[in-house]
Amino acid sequence: MAMAALKHPDRLIDRLPAVRGEYREDVALARYTWFRVGGPAEVLFLPADKDDLQQFLAGTTPDVPVTVLGVASNLLIRDGGIPGVVIRLRGTFNETALTKSGVVAGAGALDINVARFAAENGIGGLEFLSGIPGTVGGALRMNAGAYGREVKDVLINADSLDRNGGAHQFDAEAMGFSYRHSSVPDDHIFVSATLAAELDDPAKISARLDEIGAARNETQPIRSRTGGSTFKNPDGQHAWELIDAAGCRGLRVGGATVSEKHCNFLINTGSATAHDLEALGEEVRRRVVDTCGVELQWEIRRVGVAENGGRE
C-alpha cells in the first residue's frame, strides 16, 4: 500500500482558505508581464468572482502578503519573485456593461477594450483609455491618463475590497486623485468602476480612437518588450526631454536599453533581467540629477524581491 505524501508544514498554500477559484504554487510570472522578466509567485490565486475573492481575503491571515497583478504593463517584478499570494483577476472581472449610471467595467478589463466597448455603444469621452496599456484596476490605482484626460475626469465611483474582505465604494473625490496617484489605501483591491457615459457621434468617436492609435504607433515602442512610461513627468517638464538631455537615449545595462524612439521607455532587448532594467532606470535617474538637477520619480511599480533576497 502506497504511503500518502506528507504535506510540508511550511507550505503557504496549506494555510489558505478554501475557495471556488484556483490556487497554483511557484508560478513563473514573467510570461504575464510586458517586460517578460521576473521571478515566480509563491502562490497564484485566480478567484472565481468577487464573492470568492472576498471569502479569500476574509479567511487569509494578515501576515500573508497579497499582491494584485493585472496585465503588468507598468510593473517590474524582481528576479526573486513575489512572496505570499499573487492575485490575478479574470473572468467576471473582465466584463464591461452599459447601465443607466454609466459604463461599468471590471477591474480586470483592459482599458483599450473599455474604450472600444464605449465606442460600439456610441459613448464618447473614454477614447483616451485606448492609449493606456493596462487594466481598469491599475488605471484607478494610479489615476492613469493619456491624450489630455485622466481617470479622475470620468470616474463616477469605484468599488474595492479591503484586506479583510470589507466592501467599499469611492466617488472621484474620495479617491484622492492627483498626478499618477490615488490615496486609497494600498491594501484595497479594486473590483470594478463606473465611468461617465456621454452620448456622441460614433464616427467622431471612431476617428478619435484612430488618432490615438496612430499617435501611439508613431511615438512609442509599442511592439517592444517594455513597461510603458518609466518615470513621472516633473511639474512643467517632460521626463523624456530630461532623459534625452542627460544623454541616456540608447543607454544599455545588460540586456536592457533606453528606447531610441521614446526615451522614457525602457526595453528588454531579449536577454534582460529585472535587475538589468531596474539598474538601468537608476542610472538614468542618476544622470538626470547630475545633468539637469531633477530627481525623476518612478512611474513603473517595482515589486518582489531581488534574486539575492533583497527587497525594495
Catalytic residues: 180, 229, 299
3-state helix, strand, coil in the chain (%, to 5): 30, 25, 45
DSSP structural state of residue 110: B
Euclidean distance between CA atoms 175 and 170, whole angstroms: 6
Contacts of 199 (CB under 8 A, 6+ apart): 122, 123, 124
38: cell is 521576473
Helical ranges in 31-177 per DSSP H: 50-59, 111-120, 136-142
Cβ burial of 70 (10 Å; 0-12, 13-18, 19+) is buried
Torsion of CA 78, 231, 229, 241, to 10 degrees: -140
| Short-list 70, 279, 40, CA closest to 191 | 70
Euclidean distance between CA atoms 229 and 120, whole angstroms: 28
